[in-house]
Amino acid sequence: MTRIIVDTDAGVDDALAIIYAAHSPELLLEMITTVSGNVPVEEVTQNALLLKRLLSLDLDVKSGASLPLKRQLVTAPEVHGGDGLGGYRIGNNIHFKDWRTDDAAEKIVESARRLGRKLKIVSIGPMTNLAYAVANDGDAMRKIGGIVQMGGVFHGYGNTTTFTEFNMYVDPDAADFVLKSGVKLDFVPLDLTEKIFMPRNILTSLLNSTRKMSGELKTLVTQSLSYYMAYHRHTDGLDGCFLHDPIAVAAVVNPAWFKFVDAFVSVETSGILTSGMTLADLRTGKGRSNSRIATGIDARLFLDDFARKLFGRTISARVMKKDCMRDRFGPEFSNALQ
């Protein structure tokens, strides 16, 4: 059993990732820390507290950075709704009063000192809290089992600007700081996560037939996914959604499902057109690697595990291959990362 902290900006796919982590006996969820990203940290923290209640989790939710290290906050209400959950929480007037602004970075460091290599951090938002934690106690952070970061794009196009993925775009300075710190980092990038797609009809079937979710949790997931899928249909012409953040959790649930390559990863922090762009140098001679990049996944095993843990159902291998796998880019983008 791996002990994890989920550091999140709690949008729709973040919520799915937290549910997946909570239902995975391979993991012990120690704490949820929140950071501004998809929505401001106040909304993120409310979402995390709601998920804590609906999942009956015995853990702390600690709020963290409200702003990126050096720049203005960029959010994505068009993707996740103004509350990060497709309007579910605001529409139902759900608000938790018994919380305060905490130093999430300090709590991360405390866990790092206490657990050492037994701890992994699943970062599914901007890396601002992690940068503050490294600045607080880099030695302790370098001794943990590592950070799995959902983020980056290493060939082809981004999902925020032409060249950038959202988490890296929001706070590239934080990502740059962590990368230069010597902390163990595994990237789960768009290159991988956008190869798996959940069509609306499959998600609807899973939700309609599930007996695993409580009524309120099912309603939350249904409404938030509806908003999320509407965005993808409008912007990409895709009727369904990606599972970016659950795939990052899966990299800790079972790393054997993944193929990783060593790389020296850098993040552009000052480019006018490329701020947040991630660059991978694959010439990994002695001392040249600071990260690993996930370049492959056994999609069948992941999707089966994800569907069983969230919905108590399975997806047939034929349906997975036909409907859930996609070629992200044409062959002109082929390179060593494939």
Q: Show which residues are catalytic.
A: 244
Burial environment of residue 19 by CB neighbours within 10 A (0 to 12, 13 to 18, 19 or more): buried
Per the rule left: phi > 0, alpha: psi between -120 and 50, beta: everything else, 287 is left
Look up residue 227 and give its two tokens: 């908003």
Q: Are 123 and 21 in contact (CB under 8 A)?
A: no
Burial environment of residue 58 by CB neighbours within 10 A (0 to 12, 13 to 18, 19 or more): exposed
Residues of the chain by 3-state class (helix, strand, coil), percent to 5: 45, 20, 35
Largest CA distance in the chain: 55
Between CA 250 and CA 212 the distance in angstroms is 20
Q: Are 212 and 312 in contact (CB under 8 A)?
A: yes
Q: Are 144 and 119 in contact (CB under 8 A)?
A: yes
Name the E strands within the chain. 2-8, 27-34, 60-63, 119-124, 146-150, 185-188, 197-199, 240-242, 258-267, 278-281, 291-297
How far is CA 291 from each of CA 19, 146, 147, 233, rounded to the nearest angstrom?
27, 10, 10, 34
